[in-house]
Structure formats: C-alpha cells, structure tokens
Amino acid sequence: MRLENKVALITGGGSGIGREASLLFAREGAAVVVVDVTDDAGRKTVDEITSAGGRASYVHADVSSAKDSEAMVAHAEREFGALHVLFNNAGIMHSSDDDAVSTSEETWELTMRINARGVFLGCKYGIPALRRAGGGSIINTASFVAKLGAATPQVAYTASKGAVLSMTRELAVIHARENIRVNALCPGPLRTPLLMAFLDTDAKRNRRLVHIPMGRFGEASEIAKAALFLASDDSSFVTGAELLVDGGITAAYVTPE
C-alpha cells in the first residue's frame, strides 16, 4: 500500500475531490483526518472508511480560521501521532462570482479568505507538524484557471487559485531541504456538485465542455488518484510542480513560453 503508516489530513473531505481522496488514501493504508464545515458529510466519509476497516477521524474546521486550522493539525497529531500528508483541498466557487465589474467585494473577500488564506493557514500550522514527522508532502488544490482564463467569468475564484499556485512554488523552494515537498494539483472542469452548481444551465456547461479536448467533465475520483501520486513516495523527486489533470484543456490553449 502506497501510504502505509502515513497520516493524512484532507480539508473539504466531505464531498468532491476531498471525499474521494479520503477514501482512496485510507484504502492505501493512511490514517485520514477528514476536515469539513458540513458535519454530516464529513462524518459520512469517516464512517465509510471505518466501516471498510480503515482508520479515520472527523474534525469540524473552517480553514479560513487560524484557530480552527491550528486545531485540526493538533487533532491529527493527537489522534494518530504524527502528520505526513497535508492536502489543502477545501474551496468555494461562489454563485455570484463573475467579472470584475459585477462581482461584489463580499464575494471577492469570501473567496480569497477560503481558497487562498485557507491554504496559507493550512501550511502555517501544518509545516511544523511535518517537520516533527521528519518531512512529508503538501498538496494544494489550485485549478487549470490558474494557468488560463475561464470561459465563464469567475474572477475571484481564478485569482484565488493563481495565489495558491504562486504560494505553492515559493513554499516548495523554501522547504525543499527539509524533506517537505509542496505541489499544486490543478484539476480541469469536473462533474462535481461545486462546479455543476456554478454552471447551472446547459448553455454554461456546454460553453465549458467545448474547450475540453477529451469532450467530457473529469471525475473527482480521477483527481484523487493524482493526489495519491503526490502524497506517496512515488513522487519523491517532485516539488514545486503544477500537476495538470484537465482533459487536455491547457495543452489546447496555453502557448509554451
């Protein structure tokens, strides 16, 4: 098993990518700390893991809160003895996110607080725990929109994911000699409740689909498998990377530098 004797903390573990990653990491031998603000969904993920014979624990935490972020890391060490994998995955895509003219300051601030500040706080409190464990892997969920603009306007989301990508690069360089790897996972458009709620009409969905060379939305389980690679020792020489799992969309539209 690829994560045997490892402890992984996954934010946003109650649904989407976080849920699929929690289940997969547990099947691969990890003890999983599932973090969410939706208690029923988070506990359901934990119940699925433990019912299958795995080890998991649920923590309610708002990743934009320093107090909650510190507490979730402390819970992982207290419950399972260490922290080896930190998957900063929680995020939002606000329904009123639009272009710069139409997007409210409140939507901008909320999106940045959860998507960018949440990753910063996860790293702020998670990195000392990884040091105590002798090293480990941090995975930050960015997005393909950190590499190119989105066809459907979502300026706050896009800016927040660009911040995650830049933060990931810097942290990777800073901590490379500490046996701490930091990588960004950049999913393409996925058939998850988060995106489907944002693309709430056939016209919006078709506008996004037409740009994907593979002609379909990705699945959360496919992104979880990419996260597993970054979490495991299979990626032992990978840090500061942008792992694009996007059905070819950036290959079609990004001009090589």
Q: Would the CA dihedral through 144, 59, 41, 154 be positive or negative?
A: negative
Whether 253 is catalytic is no
Distance of CA 138 to the CA centre of its chain: 10
Count CA atoms closer than 13 A to 62's CA, side-chain side: 8
Distance CA 42, CA 18 (A): 10
List strands edge to edge, sheet with 7-11: 55-60, 31-36, 7-11, 85-88, 136-141, 180-187, 242-245
Distance CA 82, CA 105 (A): 39
Cβ distance 187 to 223 under 8 Å? yes
Strands of 73-232, DSSP E: 85-88, 136-141, 180-187
Q: What are the residue numbers of the active site?
A: 157
